[in-house]
Structures are given as C-alpha cells and as structure tokens.
Amino acid sequence: MVTVRLFGMTKMLAGNQGTLSLALHDGKRVKDLVAIIEAAYPKIGELLQKKKVLVSVNQDIAHEDLEVKDGDEIALLPPFAGGSEGC
C-alpha cells in the first residue's frame, strides 16, 4: 500500500480527500500508479495524462518509469502560482 497526498484540484476531484491509499506492490512504477488512479478517478487521470498534474516521489518530480516502494512519499502536484515579483 502507498499513500498519495492530494492538493488543490486533485483533492477536490477526489471528493475532498486529502490522501488516497492505493494497493501498489513492490516492483511497480509511477506509470502503474497513474493507471490505478486513472481507473478510480478518471478526471484526475485525465489531468495526469495531459501533464497538467505532476507526480512527486520523495519530493522530486517523478518519471513514469521510476519504481515506487512502500514508504515513499507520493504527491500529486497541480499547477500553482505564487511568490512575489522582483525577487
């Protein structure tokens, strides 16, 4: 099992759940995780396929072939804006 943290629009599309607990066994990759999310939450899956939401594993943007292991910190990152001008 892995826990996926949701933020912004992904949280809203998952019924305001802050996390998803998904069955993902050793040897699975980010693309397998995306397929599971896509099956359960098609709107989030669509955003992932269009690269409008990124997958982060252990606080780094993850490539689809990266292996996901129990205990990894996984998050779905929607686009965000912020900061200040002139820094």
For 1-33, give the DSSP string: -EEEEE-HHHHHHTTS-SEEEE---TT-BHHHH
Q: What's the structural domain count of the chain?
A: 1
Arithmetic mean of pLDDT over the chain: 90
Q: What's the pTM?
A: 0.84
Secondary structure (3-state) at 61: strand
Residue 11 tokens read as 């949280």
Tell me if 34 is assigned to some domain: yes
Q: Judge whether residue 83 has pLDDT over 80.
A: no
Tell me if 60 is assigned to some domain: yes
Residues 83 and 77: their CA atoms lie apart, in Å, by 17
Expressed as residue numbers, the domain containing 32 is: 2-77
Tell me if 86 is assigned to some domain: no
The confidence score (pLDDT) of residue 25 equals 81
Tell me if 84 is assigned to some domain: no
- CATH number, domain at 58? 3.10.20.30
pLDDT, greater one: 87 or 19: 19
